[in-house]
C-alpha cells in the first residue's frame, strides 16, 4: 500500500535521497578538515612557514563543505515535507473513496467514529513517519557506518571505546523502546474512544445541557484522557532517563578517549600535533555515531506508531464491500415488493431481528407498517433499498431479486426517508439534488409542495440557495423532516419509504403531506412506518410486526377483526387520545 503510494512520486523520492546523501557526505567530511587544521596549528609551534595559507585553505574548504551540507539539509527537509504530505493526502483520498464504496453494513462494522480517527489521526501518524523516513532513512546507517570506520581509521588504538559506547547506547535504546512500545500501541485505541466521547458530547450538546450532564460527560472524558496522559507520561519518563543516559555514556567515552590519547603522546611535537587533531575529529565522529543511534531509535519509535496506523488504513483499503451488484445495467422496475421467507440479524448480533417474513405488495399501493417499539419496522424497511442484505430468504422489487439488479436501478426505483432527518452542510438545493442530481427548480417546487416545505422555503430570501449548516442545525426539527421528505419525493420514485418521517409534523401538516402524496405520487408504492395507527388507517394494506415476526396483514378494518396485536395497539393509542 505505502510503497505504491510513494511510487507515484519517484522524482521527489530521488531528490529526498540525494539531498540526504549530500548531508551525510558533508557531515562525514567535516571532521577530517578539522583534523587537518588542528594538525597544522599544532605544527605552527615548530615553524610558521606557509602554515597560515594552509589553514585558510582548509578553513575555506570546511566552510564550503558545511554550506553544501546545510543546503542539502534544507532541500531534504523541503522534499521530505512535500513528499510526506503528498503521499498522506493521496492515502486520505484513497481511504475516503474506499469508504464511499462500503455498504451501510460495512460502515456499521467499523463504526463511523473509528473511520474518522483513521482518516485523520492515523494518516497524520503515517505522514510523520514518512517525513522521518525521508529525512533520516539513509542518513542513519550511512552516518553510523561512515563515522564508525572513519573514527577507527583516525584513532585505530581507540576502536574499543567506540565499540563499548555503541553497545551501551544500543542497550539503553533497546530497553527504552521496549518500555515505550506498549504505550504507543495503546494510543490509537484511546484516541478512538476520546474522539467518540467528544463527538457524542458535542453532537448531543442540547441533551447534555438540558439533562445537566456536563459533569458526567466530563468525568467520562477525564477517565479516557487520564489514561492517555498516563501513557504519555510513561513515554516521557522513559525519554527523560534515556537522554541523560546517552549524555553520560558519550561524556565517559570522550573522557576515556582523551585520557588514553594523552598517554600515547610522545615527546615528539609532530606526533603530539597529529594526536591532537586526531582526537578532535575522533570525538566528532563519536558524536555522529551517537546521533545516528538516537535518530535510529527515534525512527523506530515513529515506525512503531506509524506501522499501527498503516495497519489500520490498510484494513480499510483491503476491505471488500459486503455488498456487490451483479450488473451495471439500468432497468425500469415497477413498484411491487415481495419478501420471501426473509430473516435478518445485524452484524455481530446472534439473535435475528427479523424472522421468516413473507408478504407481497402490489405496485402503487399505500402500505402501513405498525408494531411496538423495537418490533423491527425500520429494519424491515432498510432491506428494501438494500441497506442490508437479508441473512436468509429473498427480497424482490419489480419481480427481481435485489441481488441481481444494479445499484443505479435501485437508486432510481426506491427512495427512503429516514426516521432521523439528516441534512448536509451546503444549500437547500444541494441537499435536494442528492435525491435527483439534475433536479430543476420546478422539480424542487413540486416536491417541496408535496412535503409541505414550500411554505417555509418561500419565506427564505435565498429560497433553494439558502445555506444549510452542519447537520441542518439552522432549521427546526419539522423543517428538517420536510426537507428530507422533499429530497425523498423529488425523483417521483416507484417506491417511497417513509420511516416515521412525519413524527415532527403536526397532525394537520401530516394529513396535508399524505393528501399531496396521494394526489401527486399516484402509482408510487408508499410504505409508511408509523408509531400512530391513525397515520395509516387509510392504507391499502397494513403489515403488523411483533418481535421481528409478521403477525398480520390486511386493511385497518380487517385487522381490527383478525389481529389481537393490532387491536391492542389501536386500543392503547385510542385510550391515550381520549
Ligand atoms: N444498527 C443496529 N445494530 C444492532 N441492532 C440494531 C440496530 N438497529 C436496530 N437494532 C435492533 O433491532 C431491533 C429492531 O429495531 P428497529 O429499529 O427495526 O425497530 P422499530 O420497530 O423500527 O422500532 P421503533 O418504532 O422504536 O423505531 C431493536 O431491538 C434494536 O435494538
Q: Which CATH number is 403's domain given?
A: 3.40.50.300
Domain membership flag for residue 454: no
- Domain extent, residue 357, equals 337-422+493-577
At 520, list the grid cell: 401527486
The dihedral formed by the CA atoms of 261, 264, 268 and 272, expressed in degrees to the nearest 10 = -10
Q: Domains in the chain: how many in total?
A: 2
Q: What is the pLDDT of residues 323-334, one digit of tens each?
A: 888 778 888 888
Name the nearest CA neighbour of 239 among 288, 297, 186, 185.
297
Assign 75 a pLDDT band (cuts: 50, 70, 90).
Answer: very high
Q: How far apart are CA 440 and CA 444, in angstroms?
A: 6
Q: Tell me which of 368, 371, 378 to substitute to probe ligand 1's pocket, judged by most ligand atoms within 8 Å of the beta carbon.
A: 378
Strand-strand pairing, 525-529 and 495-499: parallel
Do 354 and 207 lie in a common domain?
no
- pLDDT for the residue 497: 93
Name the nearest CA neighbour of 464 among 433, 489, 495, 436.
433
Place of cell 512500545: 181
Q: How far apart are CA 173 and CA 335, in angstroms?
A: 68
Q: How far apart are CA 272 and CA 275, in angstroms?
A: 5
At 440, list the grid cell: 430543476
The residue whose CA is least distant from atom 26 of ligand 1 is 373
- pLDDT for the residue 84: 93
Do 235 and 378 lie in a common domain?
no
Report how far ligand 1's centroid is from the alpha carbon of 371 (Å): 12
Report how far ligand 1's centroid is from the alpha carbon of 379 (Å): 6
CB atoms closer than 10 angstroms to residue 304: 17
What Rg do the C-alpha atoms of the chain give, in angstroms? 36
Report how far ligand 1's centroid is from the alpha carbon of 344 (Å): 12
Domain membership flag for residue 565: yes
Q: Tell me which of 104, 357, 368, 379 to substitute to probe ligand 1's pocket, judged by most ligand atoms within 8 Å of the beta carbon.
A: 379
547 lines ligand 1 (CB under 6 A): no
For 169, the enclosing helix (H) or strand (E) is helix 159-203
Q: How far apart are CA 234 and CA 227, in angstroms?
A: 11
The answer to whether the beta carbons of residues 123 and 88 sit under 8 Å apart is: yes
Given a cut of 60, whether residue 267 has pLDDT beyond it is no
Between residues 324 and 267, the one the model is more confident about: 324
Q: What is the pLDDT of residues 452-510, one digit of tens each?
A: 888 888 888 888 888 888 877 888 888 888 899 999 989 888 999 998 877 777 778 77
- pLDDT for the residue 394: 94
Do 198 and 117 lie in a common domain?
yes
- pLDDT for the residue 355: 93
Do 362 and 251 lie in a common domain?
no
Do 197 and 70 lie in a common domain?
yes
Do 347 and 253 lie in a common domain?
no
Measured between alpha carbons, how far is residue 448 from residues 198, 441, 462, 491, 515 in Å? 36, 10, 15, 12, 14
Place of cell 405488495: 361
Signed CA dihedral, 248, 254, 257, 262: sign only: negative
At 331, list the grid cell: 432497468
Q: How far apart are CA 230 and CA 220, in angstroms?
A: 16
Given a cut of 60, whether residue 32 has pLDDT beyond it is yes
Q: What is the pLDDT of residues 1-29, one digit of tens each?
A: 778 888 888 899 999 889 988 888 888 88
- The mean pLDDT value for 554-574 works out to 87
Between residues 562 and 177, the one the model is more confident about: 562
Name the nearest CA neighbour of 429 among 438, 419, 420.
438
Helical H runs in 394-476? 407-413, 428-432, 441-450, 454-457
Average pLDDT, the chain: 85
Amino acid at each position: 500500500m505505502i510503497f505504491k503510494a510513494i511510487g507515484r512520486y519517484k522524482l521527489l523520492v530521488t531528490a529526498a535521497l540525494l539531498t540526504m546523501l549530500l548531508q551525510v557526505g558533508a557531515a562525514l567530511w567535516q571532521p577530517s578538515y578539522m583534523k587537518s587544521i588542528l594538525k597544522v596549528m599544532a605544527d605552527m609551534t615548530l615553524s610558521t612557514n606557509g602554515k597560515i595559507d594552509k589553514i585558510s585553505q582548509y578553513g575555506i574548504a570546511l566552510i564550503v563543505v558545511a554550506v553544501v551540507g546545510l543546503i542539502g539539509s534544507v532541500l531534504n527537509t523541503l522534499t521530505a515535507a512535500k513528499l510526506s504530505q503528498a503521499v498522506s493526502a493521496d492515502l486520505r483520498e484513497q481511504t475516503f473513496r474506499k469508504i464511499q464504496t462500503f455498504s451501510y453494513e460495512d460502515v456499521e462494522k467499523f463504526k463511523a467514529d473509528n473511520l474518522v480517527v483513521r482518516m485523520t489521526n492515523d494518516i497524520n501518524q503515517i505522514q510523520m513517519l514518512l517525513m522521518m523516513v525521508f529525512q533520516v532513512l539513509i542518513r542513519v546507517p550511512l552516518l553510523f557506518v561512515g563515522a564508525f570506520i572513519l573514527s577507527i581509521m583516525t584513532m585505530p588504538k581507540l576502536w574499543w571505546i567506540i565499540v563499548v559506547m555503541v553497545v551501551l547506547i544500543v542497550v539503553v535504546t533497546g530497553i527504552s523502546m521496549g518500555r515505550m512500545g506498549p504505550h504507543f500501541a495503546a494510543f490509537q485505541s484511546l484516541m478512538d474512544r476520546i474522539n467518540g466521547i467528544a463527538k457524542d458530547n458535542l453532537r448531543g450538546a442540547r441533551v447534555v445541557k438540558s439533562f445537566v450532564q456536563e459533569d458526567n460527560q466530563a468525568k467520562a472524558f477525564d477517565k479516557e484522557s487520564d489514561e492517555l496522559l498516563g501513557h504519555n507520561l510513561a513515554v516521557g519518563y522513559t525519554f527523560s532517563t534515556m537522554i541523560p543516559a546517552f549524555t553520560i555514556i558519550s561524556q565517559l567515552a570522550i573522557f576515556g578517549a582523551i585520557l588514553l590519547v594523552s598517554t600515547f603522546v610522545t615527546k615528539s611535537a609532530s606526533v603530539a600535533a597529529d594526536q591532537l587533531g586526531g582526537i578532535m575529529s575522533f570525538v566528532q565522529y563519536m558524536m555522529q555515531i551517537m546521533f545516528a543511534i538516537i535518530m535510529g531509535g527515534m525512527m523506530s519509535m515513529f515506525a512503531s506508531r506509524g506501522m499501527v496506523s498503516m495497519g489500520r488504513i490498510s484494513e480499510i483499503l483491503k476491505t471488500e464491500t459486503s455488498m456487490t451488484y451483479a450488473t451495471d445495467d439500468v432497468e425500469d422496475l415497477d413498484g411491487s415488493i415481495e419478501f420471501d421467507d426473509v430473516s435478518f440479524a445485524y452484524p455481530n448480533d446472534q439473535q435475528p431481528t427479523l424472522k421468516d417474513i413473507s408478504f407481497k405488495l402490489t405496485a402503487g399501493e399505500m402500505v402501513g407498517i405498525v408494531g411496538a417499539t423495537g418490533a423491527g419496522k425500520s429494519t424491515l424497511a432498510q432491506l428494501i433499498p438494500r441497506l442490508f442484505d437479508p441473512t436468509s430468504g429473498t427480497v424482490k422489487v419489480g419481480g427481481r431479486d435485489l441481488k441481481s439488479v444494479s445499484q443505479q436501478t435501485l437508486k432510481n426505483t426506491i427512495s427512503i426517508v429516514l426516521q432521523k432527518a439528516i441534512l448536509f452542510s451546503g444549500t437547500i438545493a444541494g441537499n435536494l439534488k442528492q435525491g435527483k442530481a439534475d433536479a430543476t427548480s420546478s422539480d424542487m417546487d413540486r416536491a417541496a409542495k408535496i412535503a409541505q416545505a414550500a411554505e417555509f422555503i418561500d419565506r427564505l430570501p435565498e429560497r433553494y440557495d439558502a445555506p444549510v449548516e452542519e447537520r441542518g442545525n439552522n432549521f427546526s426539527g419539522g423543517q428538517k423532516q420536510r426537507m428530507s421528505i422533499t429530497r425523498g419525493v423529488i425523483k417521483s420514485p416507484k417506491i417511497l419509504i417513509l420511516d416515521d418521517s412525519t413524527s415532527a409534523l403536526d397532525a394537520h401538516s401530516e394529513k396535508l403531506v399524505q393528501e399531496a402524496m396521494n394526489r401527486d405520487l399516484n402509482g408510487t408504492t408508499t410504505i409508511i412506518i408509523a408509531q400512530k395507527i391513525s397515520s395509516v388507517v387509510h392504507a391499502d394494506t397494513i403489515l403488523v410486526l411483533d418481535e421481528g415476526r409478521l403477525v398480520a396483514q390486511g386493511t385497518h378494518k380487517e385487522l381490527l377483526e383478525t389481529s389481537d396485536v393490532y387491536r391492542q395497539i389501536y386500543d392503547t393509542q385510542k385510550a391515550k387520545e381520549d
